Amino acid sequence: MTTAPPAGPAAPPRVPTGLFTPSPTSSARPAAPPLPPVRRTPLVVAALLAVALTAYVWSAHGAKPGVLLLLGLGLGVALFHSRFGFTSAWRQLVAVGNGTGLRAHTLLLGTTATLFAVIIGTGTGLFGSQPAPSGGSLGVGLVAGSALFAIGMQLGGACASGTLFAVGSGQTSVVLTLAGFITGATLAAWQYDLWQDLPAWDPVVLSDHIGWFGSWAVTIAALLLVVFVSRRVQARRNPPPLGPVPSARGAAVRALRGSWPLAAGALALAVLGAGVLLVSGGAWGVTSAFSLWGSELVGTLGGHPENWTWWRQPGNADMLAGPVLADKTSLTDIGIMIGAAVAAALGGSWALHRGIPWRTAVASVLGGVLMGIGARLAGGCNIGAYLAGIASGSLSGWVWGAFALAGTWVGLKLRPLFGLGNPKPGDGVC
């Protein structure tokens, strides 16, 4: 009679790494907490404001601005429900290797690139608009500005779009970030003469060289490579899962009140952003409005921003001379804040946060100032430069993203100085 040799140690289970299998985390994602009750007063106020402002803009400035405001409202709803952020996604990736948020970015970027290729490639526009790609210059301003922006968003706690929807949902500390953001963008516009001559090269837009189909194919291939690399990094580092947010059972209730999957948010934002391109002829952006709002305030206080070199540039002078509620970016920005307020109140999450630690307040303002300056130096933010640039097939968008990742690493090193934490491998969630 023979006996089987003693079994050795069991081999660890093979982690699936296929493109469409879930990426591993150190533990399962906790269950979502139940939704709090609807915040009726904020909901009524935000809904009435949305209706009244839409009616005013439509009657005073016409259908095109009115539709842009509606698109902004939709963007605010989608951003809040999906909690679609760039700041936390890059922080999770750099700190612990969780690439879930970055892969949601690739879905947003790829879908937007597809829609942009169809719209711009066929010259399709509404209200007489002529859609055009967003191609930024390549140079010192882009590199320094994107890195500064990323440092700022890690200190301020939100990116450009995240700042707007967080303010709309009542996050008081991010109001300080927005104030700093407007201040930094206005300072950069005021001191445009100091940085306008930084070394730079002309934009490189792929469609100018290989056509729109070729541009789209290269962009999608590059995004798939990002997905593959981020999955390999996550499999190796085995990070904590993302933290849950309140949600609801049932598709209908979840759509109106609960949290959306990141993929649903990415698709909704891509469609709404393409709508902005169709209606206005330009990609969705955020930060040019901050320079405008700050400069309007300077003018109200007796200053003369119309004499600044920035506001004498082609296109900028008309923006400053026109009404704020006819400005494309101002309309979508305001819409995002109101739309997020409606969604947050429906979800029971709208609340003003009191007792902000002084170091958090300092970080919020400083982060906002850095983002405002960085966005002007780089020619845009995570939306106008990164999203619109990559979706347009512009090399500037990829450069912006690369140096924003480097700036994120620096920002994570600075966060503890202000009492702000970073994800750690042993955390239950990141």
**How buried is residue 104: exposed, middle or buried, by Cβ count under 10 Å (0-12/13-18/19+)?**
buried
3-state secondary structure of 426: coil
DSSP category for residue 414: H
Give the count of beta carbons closer than 10 Å to the beta carbon of residue 243: 16
Torsion angle of C-alpha atoms 141, 135, 131, 381, degrees rounded to 10: -40
Furthest CA-CA distance within the chain: 102
Contacts of 145 (CB under 8 A, 6+ apart): 373, 374, 375, 376, 377, 378, 379
Distance CA 341, CA 189 (A): 30
Q: Residue 181 is inside which H or E element, if any? A: helix 172-190
Structure tokens of 172? 């008081």
Confidence check: pLDDT of 136 > 80 = yes
Q: Which residue has the higher pLDDT, 10 or 233?
A: 233
Give the type of residue at 377. Answer: L
Q: How high is the pLDDT of residue 4?
A: 47
Q: What is the mean pLDDT of the chain?
A: 92
Q: Residue 213 is inside which H or E element, if any? A: helix 207-237
Task: Tell me which residue of 269, 307, 295 sits closest to 383, measured CA to CA.
Answer: 269
Q: How high is the pLDDT of residue 23?
A: 82
Distance CA 149, CA 141 (A): 11
Q: Residue 200 is inside which H or E element, if any? A: strand 200-201
Residue 367: C-alpha distances to residues 119, 165, 166, 224, 378 (Å): 35, 17, 15, 32, 16
Total-model pTM? 0.93
Residue 156: C-alpha distances to residues 16, 160, 188, 282 (Å): 37, 10, 18, 28
Among 184-188, 258-262, 348-352, which is the least confidently predicted range?
Answer: 348-352
Distance CA 28, CA 51 (A): 42
Q: Torsions phi, psi of 57, nearest 5?
A: -60, -40
| Section 371-396 average pLDDT | 97
Q: How high is the pLDDT of residue 10?
A: 41
Tell me: the pLDDT tens digits for 176-187? Answer: 999 999 999 999
Distance CA 379, CA 287 (A): 9
**How buried is residue 285: exposed, middle or buried, by Cβ count under 10 Å (0-12/13-18/19+)?**
buried
| Confidence band of 33 (pLDDT split at 50, 70, 90) | confident
3-state secondary structure of 405: helix
Q: How high is the pLDDT of residue 21?
A: 61
Q: How high is the pLDDT of residue 268?
A: 97
3-state secondary structure of 394: strand
Residue 135: C-alpha distances to residues 91, 225, 426 (Å): 27, 22, 41
Q: How high is the pLDDT of residue 310?
A: 96
Q: Which residue has the higher pLDDT, 336 or 35?
A: 336
Q: How high is the pLDDT of residue 422?
A: 96
Give the up-direction half-sphere exposure of residue 27: CA atoms within 13 A in the CB hemisphere: 12
Confidence check: pLDDT of 315 > 60 = yes
| Section 297-315 average pLDDT | 94
Q: How high is the pLDDT of residue 58?
A: 96
Confidence check: pLDDT of 127 > 80 = yes
Tokens 């700093």, residue?
Answer: 180
Q: How high is the pLDDT of residue 15?
A: 44
Structure tokens of 40? 């009726």
Give the type of residue at 114. Answer: T
pLDDT over 90 for what percent of the chain? 83
